[in-house]
Amino acid sequence: EDQVTQSPEALRLQEGESSSLNCSYTVSGLRGLFWYRQDPGKGPEFLFTLYSAGEEKEKERLKATLTKKESFLHITAPKPEDSPTYLCAVGSNFGNEKLTFGTGTRLTIIP
């Protein structure tokens, strides 16, 4: 069974204080690893897809990296608007189109 574990559950940072969020996964044939952000009361908003170990993607203050067992979302010099919950999910190659999600990391950026 595919599993995704995200850590920490919650993180408080000062504005401008960089950090990393962790997503550990087990999956039967990785089709892709997905990062989403979710603001309170809204649906998840797509950020990145990573397909293979060693791959990296960047968007503004966010950078996602992937190894064979985990992914990191690096947040550089965050601003208060970077304070949603970050969700990690994996898709499997084996005949099932669903995504398996972690429970997320709630990020709070303090001005």
Partner 1 sequence: GAGVSQSPSNKVTEKGKDVELRCDPISGHTALYWYRQRLGQGLEFLIYFQGNSAPDKSGLPSDRFSAERTGESVSTLTIQRTQQEDSAVYLCASSFIAEAETQYFGPGTRLLVL
Structure tokens of 7?
Answer: 């850590």
Letters for 86-105 (x = contact with partner 1 by CB under 8 A, - = none) are -x-x-x----xxxxxxxxx-
Looking at 21, 25, 30, 36, which residue binds partner 1 (CB under 8 A)?
36
- Coil/strand/helix, residue 82: helix
Is 34 a residue that touches partner 1 (CB under 8 A)?
yes
Separation CA 14–CA 56 (nearest Å):
25
Binding partner 1 (rule: CB under 8 A), the pick from 42, 68, 94, 111 is 42
CA distance readout (Å), 103 to 37, 46, 79, 86, 110 = 12, 16, 23, 9, 22
Number of residues that bind partner 1 (CB under 8 A): 25
The reply to whether 32 sits near partner 1 by the rule CB under 8 A is yes
Tokens of 105: 């990391």
Q: What residues between 66 and 85 interact with partner 1 by CB under 8 A? A: none
Residue indicated by tokens 């970050």 = 86
Residues that bind partner 1 (CB under 8 A): 4, 31-32, 34, 36, 41-46, 49, 51, 87, 89, 91, 96-104
